[in-house]
Amino acid sequence: MFDSLSTKFSSIIKSLSGKGRITEKNIRDAVEEIKISLLDADVNLRVVRRFINSTLEEALGEKVLLSVDPGQQFTKIVYDKMVALLGGDDQGLKLKGRDTTSIILMMGLQGSGKTTTASKLALRLTKEGRKVMLVAADLVRPAAVTQLQVLGEKVGVRVFAIPGEKDPVKVAREAVSTARHELYDTVIIDTSGRMHLDETLMKEIVDIARAVNPDETLFVADAMTGQNAVTIAQEFEQKVGISGVILSKFDSDTRGGAALSLKSVVGKPLKFIGTGEKPEDLEVFHPDRIAQRILGMGDVVSLVEKAQQVFDEKEAERLAQKMQKNTFDLQDYLDQLENMDKMGSVDKILDMIPGAKGNVSADDIDMKQFEIQKAIIKSMTKFERSNYRIIGPSRRKRIAKGSGTSVADVNRLLKLFEKQKLMMKKLMGNRKMQAQMLKNFM
């Protein structure tokens, strides 16, 4: 799923990240490419339009164009929009406490994965300590009851069935009353689907829902049905009401457009994804993780977020300005060193910078050097920090003494700083340069 979309997104974002500076046209071009990729992936047209418009609006703001790394800022915006599109926060099941009985109703078309998913949910909830009963209320397909019984046995969950009964509403009602009586806290009702939507199917589900008043009405959508899944979900939402969507067959090789459109069109959260045929193959749907996968660059996203925690935006902008005007001084350098501390270990930082991997290894970086550099700058006067050229031999001697280092150390730092200033101008947004800069820290 999402393979081709993710490849395209990565290359779009890469093309921006490699640029020293980003223009409005660069952004417009990138957004246009994103639009085409989303449409190619079979994402609903209205959803694409909404996504594109809001991304463009934010990306064209000054914040991006003037930021330290516009490519990364742009990635962050696309990422945030993608998370929102997929549903924002994680959404678990909304079940009642275990002192009473909660009811889950499965619904969807034939072959969408209702029965399989019902048993997967049963297994998951059992593991969470709930006492679960599965209910065989698909009385249309001859083998449906047996299928559920086999699956129920596999996951060690009781399957309620009434042999010979033809009325699914009656089965559901009796199952719930038995569950309450025998202190089951969770009832999962498997229902029948049809090849296509029809009145009989809808009426049957509506009747069952009325009879048992479910806590969760889960619509199981086959990821492979594409846009059609969206239309069908809307129909179920209107007639029965959906509390959440489970996307089955997420492991299949589909373009993924349905997954991206469902939340936005139907307005109901995606709660789980089916990732295989086995009972264990059910995962909580995490919008952020999926968005990272689609962008094909999760690590960059976490780097941007981490960097944002450390520098507030104004600070980042101030630094960008300084770099542009080439007024970056030793005080800024000291601030940067201290910011690096806040970001965690060098290992972690290197892991997150794509260009750094392979180019620089954490062993190459001597943390002690950072400490020495900080001590040296701290021994300088304010004036010296902003005018490094005036630091002659006698000042160097004084600074070395004050910081408990040697004149050679001070010389090294000043030389390094000079080299860095030269690189600054070229640095903007260029990852290879960032890696180079880390090397220079040594």
Sign for the pseudo-dihedral over CA of 234, 239, 242, 246: negative
β-bridge pairing 102-107 and 186-191: parallel
Q: Could you say whether residue 115 binds Mg ion (CB under 5 A)?
A: yes
Report the C-alpha gap between 220 and 188 in whole angstroms. Answer: 13
Smallest distance, ligand GDP to C-beta of residue 256, A: 14
Q: Which is nearer to ligand GDP, 283 or 317 (CB)?
A: 283
Map residues 200-239 to x or -, x wherever contact with Mg ion holds by CB under 5 A: ----------------------------------------
22: left (phi over 0), alpha (psi -120 to 50) or beta: beta
Q: For residues 84 and 140, which CB has a smaller minimum distance to ligand GDP in the complex?
A: 140
Closest to ligand GDP by CB, 81 vs 120, is 120
Least separation, in Å, of the C-beta of 153 and ligand GDP?
16
Give 247's strand partners: 221, 273
292 scored as a contact of Mg ion (CB under 5 A):
no
Find the part of the chain contacting Mg ion (CB under 5 A) among 115-123, 263-271, 356-364, 433-441: 115-123
Question: What does 312 bind: Mg ion, ligand GDP, none (CB cut-off 5 to 8 Å by kind)?
Answer: none
The span from the CA of 183 to the CA of 208, in Å, is: 21
Nearest to Mg ion of 277, 338 (CB atom): 277
**Binding at 276: pick from ligand GDP, Mg ion, none (beta carbon under 5-8 Å per type):** ligand GDP
Tokens of 113: 């994965």
**226 vs 354 by CB, closer to ligand GDP:** 226
Closer residue to ligand GDP in complex, CB, 165/251? 251
112, interface contact from Mg ion, ligand GDP, none, CB < 5-8 Å by kind: ligand GDP
DSSP for 21-37 reads: S--HHHHHHHHHHHHHH
Question: Whole-angstrom Cα distance, residue 252 to residue 346?
Answer: 38
State the residues that interact with ligand GDP by CB under 6 A.
108, 110-116, 193, 248-249, 251, 274-277, 281
Tokens of 163: 């042999």
Tell whether the torsion through CA atoms of 69, 73, 74 and 75 is positive or negative. Answer: positive
Q: What is the nearest approach in angstroms of Mg ion to the Cβ of residue 78? A: 38
Residue 111 interacting partner from Mg ion, ligand GDP, none (CB closer than 5 to 8 Å by kind): ligand GDP
Minimum Å distance from CB 88 to ligand GDP? Answer: 23
Does the footprint of Mg ion cover residue 112 (CB under 5 A)? no
- 396 interacts with, out of ligand GDP, Mg ion, none, CB within 5 to 8 A per kind: none
End-to-end CA distance of the chain: give it in Å, rounded: 43
Of Mg ion, ligand GDP, none, which one does residue 113 interact with (CB within 5 to 8 Å by kind)?
ligand GDP
Separation of alpha carbons 8 and 255, rounded Å? 12
Quote the least distance from Cβ 108 to ligand GDP, whole Å: 6
Q: Which two tokens stand for residue 9?
A: 């997104």
Give whole-number Cα distances, 221 to 45, 110, 140, 240, 245, in Å.
Answer: 19, 10, 19, 15, 7
Q: Which does 110 bind (CB under 5 to 8 A by kind): ligand GDP, Mg ion, none?
A: ligand GDP
Q: How far is the CB of 260 from ligand GDP (least distance, A)?
A: 18
Q: Which amino acid is at 332?
A: D
Q: Angle CA(263)–CA(269)–CA(274) in degrees, nearest 5?
A: 95
What's the closest the beta carbon of residue 334 comes to ligand GDP, in angstroms?
A: 54
CA 419, CA 206: separation in Å to the nearest integer? 72
Q: Are 375 and 405 in contact (CB under 8 A)?
A: yes
**Contact residues for Mg ion, defined by CB under 5 A:** 114-115
